Amino acid sequence: MALQHKRFPPGRGNLLIPTSTRAATLAGIAMYSPSTRRGFLVQRAAWYSVGLFGSKGLPGNSNAAPPLAPEVWDELHAALLAEAGPYDDWAAHRPPDPHREGLGILLLQEGRPVAFVKVRRERNCEKLRREFEALGLVREANPHSFGFTEPLFEGTVAGRLYAGFAPLPAGLHRPPASPSLDSILADIAKALSPLPRPDDAGADWAPMHGDFTPWNLRKLRGHLYLLDWETAGWGPPGADEVMYQASSAVMGLCQADAYQQVAAKYPETVSYWIEHWQRKIDEYIAEVGPVSKKALAVQMLGVLDAHA
């Protein structure tokens, strides 16, 4: 019998949640990384409903479609069995924006996470290779201020690159209320210092995570985990700090003056991120239509512009 999955969360449906067992369904729901109050409420409502009623507690219709085209999935499935060992179910995450390629697959064995696998087309896999390299450096540095998903294996199949990482522990996670940013930023810079410096990097540039935001810094079982290292590299002074405070302001997770203080400290870095988000908006216009559909990019640019 083919494995059955439901789409989650309501409206976007970019997660495919397994319905084989209660534990598998809960593991799939835990893949959702909300940073807004509404997102937390939706996730927790689903979590407790499944806890009470089993997989039937997750609303929606089930279907048996694989996460990729069947011929591609068959090849990838065989490769993952060889790399990660046996698994009997999976949950999958697709980017909510149609202009973004990529797939994340959580492999499960009896409802327990075995590995998290990212899949990209080979022609568009530079960021995934960068993440695998960056996390290898993080593993060597062994930071104390945050945990991370250790890189496990990588390979190619059917014109796609796949990279496997150790999964997060099972359970719900959320952004921390008051993380020790100084310690985290120092550990990031130390871990990534071996990355090659780009030719166009300024003399005062330093290693950065590159997407240091509340949705990538997660608290789980009393521990912090820093996720998604695909944009690790070099940036102007305070790049990660500015990004974190600006995105926290957008999500309503900090007072506006926290961002204002860091913006005043790093005005050139604010300009750097303004250019970054403007490029994102231009890409969205060219590829998928009106900017109004890309609320996050517009909001980030608005916060940055207000204090440039």
Interval 189-212: pLDDT, tens: 999 999 999 999 999 999 999 999
d(CA 8, CA 43): 9
Count of other CB atoms within 10 angstroms of residue 126: 11
Q: Write the pLDDT tens digit of every residue in 47-61.
A: 999 999 999 999 999
Q: Output the CA–CA distances (angstroms, integers) from residue 105 to 61, 71, 90, 114, 304, in the order listed.
A: 20, 17, 7, 11, 34
112 or 12: whose pLDDT is higher?
A: 112
- The domain limits of the chain are 5-165, 181-306
pLDDT score, position 148: 97
Percent of the chain's residues with pLDDT above 90: 73
Q: Is 292 helix (H, G, I), strand (E, B) or coil?
A: helix
* Token pair recorded at residue 307: 């204090």
What pTM did the predictor assign? 0.91
pLDDT band at 291 (very low <50, low <70, confident <90, very high): very low
C-beta neighbour count of 37 within 10 angstroms: 11
pLDDT digits (tens, 9 = 90+) for 33-50: 887 788 889 999 999 999
CATH of 5-165 among 2.40.30.130, 3.40.50.300, 3.30.200.20, 1.10.20.10: 3.30.200.20
At 289, the pLDDT band (50, 70, 90 cuts) reads very low
A 10 A CB-CB count for 262 gives: 20
* In the block, residue with structure tokens 């207000």: 306
Q: Which tops the pLDDT comparison, 289 or 7?
A: 7
Which run of H or of E encompasses 47? helix 37-53
Location of structure tokens 């921390």: 176
Whether pLDDT at 294 is above 70: no
* pLDDT surpassing 70 at residue 292: no
pLDDT in the model for residue 307? 65
Query: Residue 76: pLDDT above 60?
Result: yes
C-alpha–C-alpha distance, residues 13 and 94, integer Å? 9
pLDDT number for residue 112: 96
Q: What pLDDT sits at residue 290? A: 42
Encode pLDDT of 96-135 as tens digits: 655 566 899 999 999 999 999 999 998 889 999 999 999 9
Mean pLDDT, all residues of the chain: 90
**pLDDT the model gives residue 99:** 53
Q: Return the HEC string of 175-240.
A: CCCCCCHHHHHHHHHHHHCCCCCCCCCCCCCEEECCCCCCCCEEEECCEEEECCCCCCEEECCCHH
- Indicate whether 68 pLDDT > 60: yes
Q: Report how far residue 236's alpha carbon sits from residue 86's, in angstroms, rounded to the nearest whole number.
A: 44
Amino acid, res. 37: R
